[in-house]
Amino acid sequence: MTKRWKNRPEGSTWGDFGEDDQTGRLALLTPERVRRAAAEIHDGRSWCLSLPLDFPGGNKLNERRHPPRLFATVTAKGQPWFNQPLNVNGPDFTDVVSDDAVLLHCQYSTQWDALAHVGGLFDADGDGEPERVYYNGWRAEEHIFAPANTHGHDCSDFEGSHADRLGIENMAATGVQGRGVMIDLRHHLGDARTYVGYDDLMRVMEADGAEVEEGDMVCFHTGWAQRVLEMDRDPSVEILHDACAVLDGRDAKLLNWVTDSGAAVLIADNYAVEGHPSRPGEGKHAVLPLHEHCLFKLGVHLGELWHLTPLAAHLRAAGRTRFFLTAPPLRLPGAVGSPLTPVATT
């Protein structure tokens, strides 16, 4: 028990990494494990695991998330600060400068979910009523908040929203490097929508000799981001909702595996790592049960929409499943998610 909570969710790690912990299982990325991860570098090739950040394209996959909008910054004379010759400031200056800004939806494309992204309704304070809490008992409104509704027409109406605890900057500050393990669901399960539970996962891992040890950064290749790339910024919702493998967050054995494996983070090249929509649940339940298990209970960050297909093909050809992974998010204080450009080295 801590000052913030009397009850912790069943199967959670609240308090285990410290009373005020905000990074969860990133604590497992120890210096010793980073050194061990470096031993997975063989040919020295680097792999960009990010989609171009304007993919998937449009907002059909999620109406509240929009592609990045770039703007030139503005000169004192109201001109776009693009191609500006600096000789206006001094006749001998030879520089020509462009400068810009971006409106970037933090979870539009290749991204990390911060632990402040998904919490739960849970009676943490023991008063008999569930309240809105996040990993390690950090609370809605007190620690994670948005300003009162102004107009609500555009996300800029809620400027000042902030995760005072569990924001993505906590993840960034750890550096996020370690050993990646590729689990190639696509190779074994194909391109149709399949909900992957524990038994299927074990079959795939055994077939490839893939092993997950405590502190590994586990990547699930499904082929979904590759399909998105091929759709060239005009994604078909109908096709993508029925495409590729997804983890089955309703499979209790799978959730237990996430707990027992000691995986530091879970990553996939699909929309939500787990099936979205998930299979129907019973009684009071989370819509996204893997999100609940990882972000809310365990402190396991989720990486989504990563571009894994070329790396998965290379590893398969090399007969390997492990690689060195560097994947810090933006060190953006208060954000509940972040784009990133992860890099694998093989």
Instruction: List Cβ neighbours of 254 (8 Å cut-off, separation of 6 or more).
Output: 196, 197, 198, 201, 247, 248, 290
Q: Identify which of residues 107 and 170 has a Cβ nearer to ligand UVW in the complex.
A: 107
- Select 208 or 292, whichever has its Cβ closest to ligand UVW: 292
Using rule CB under 6 A, residue 165 touches ligand UVW: no
344: CB partners within 8 A, 6+ apart: 46, 47, 49, 180, 311, 323, 324, 325, 326
Cβ proximity to ligand UVW: between 109 and 170 the closer is 109
Q: Please name the amino acid found at residue 19.
A: E
Question: Closest approach of Cβ 287 to ligand UVW, in Å?
Answer: 9
Q: Which long-range contacts (CB under 8 A, 24 or more apart) does 279-287 make?
A: 279/195, 279/248, 279/250, 281/250, 286/120
Least gap, CB of 111 to ligand UVW (angstroms): 7
CB distance 73 to 84 below 8 Å = no
- Joined together, the tokens standing for residue 230 give 């091929």
> Do the beta carbons of residue 322 and residue 213 sit within 8 Å?
no
Least distance to ligand UVW from the beta carbon of 266, Å? Answer: 11
Which part of the chain contacts ligand UVW (CB under 6 A), choosing from 19-27, 72-80, 127-135, 270-278? Answer: 270-278
Please tell me whether residue 139 binds ligand UVW under the rule CB under 6 A: no
* Stretch of 174-182, 224-232, 268-276, 324-332 contacting ligand UVW, by CB under 6 A: 268-276
12-31 positions binding ligand UVW, by CB under 6 A: none
Integer Cα distance of 80 and 180 in angstroms: 43
* For ligand UVW, the closer CB: 107 or 338: 107
In one-letter notation, the amino acid at residue 98 is S
Q: Please, which residue, 272 or 325, has the CB nearer to ligand UVW?
A: 272
The maximal CA–CA distance of the chain, rounded, in angstroms, is 74
Task: Using the rule CB under 6 A, give the single segment among 16-24, 41-49, 237-245, 271-279 that binds ligand UVW.
Answer: 271-279
Question: What x-and-dash track marks residues 189-228 binding ligand UVW by CB under 6 A?
Answer: ----------------------------------------
**Interface of this chain with ligand UVW, residues 50 to 109, rule: CB under 6 A:** 107
Q: Which is nearer to ligand UVW, 21 or 304 (CB)?
A: 304
State which residue, 117 or 186, has the beta carbon closest to ligand UVW: 117
Query: Looking at beta carbons only, is 212 or 247 nearer to ligand UVW?
Result: 247
Q: Are strands 100-103 and 69-72 parallel, antiparallel or unpaired?
A: antiparallel
DSSP 8-state symbol, 253: H
Backbone phi, then psi, for 147, in 5-degree steps? -65, 160
What is the nearest approach in angstroms of ligand UVW to the Cβ of residue 121?
Answer: 16
Among 25, 143, 250, 276, binds ligand UVW (CB under 6 A): 276
113 binds ligand UVW (CB under 6 A): yes
Give the rounded distance of the alpha carbon of 259 from its chain centre. Answer: 18
The length of the chain in residues reads 346
The single residue among 17, 265, 304, 345 that binds ligand UVW, judged by CB under 6 A, is 304
CB-based closest residue to ligand UVW:
272
CA nearest neighbour of 322 among 43, 40, 49: 40
Of 122 and 271, CB closest to ligand UVW: 271
CA nearest neighbour of 216 among 260, 170, 269:
260
Q: Is 245 helix (H, G, I), strand (E, B) or coil?
A: strand
Other C-beta atoms lying within 10 Å of the C-beta of residue 93: 12
Q: How many residues bind ligand UVW (CB under 6 A)?
A: 7
Binding site residues, ligand UVW, CB under 6 A: 107, 113, 117, 271-272, 276, 304
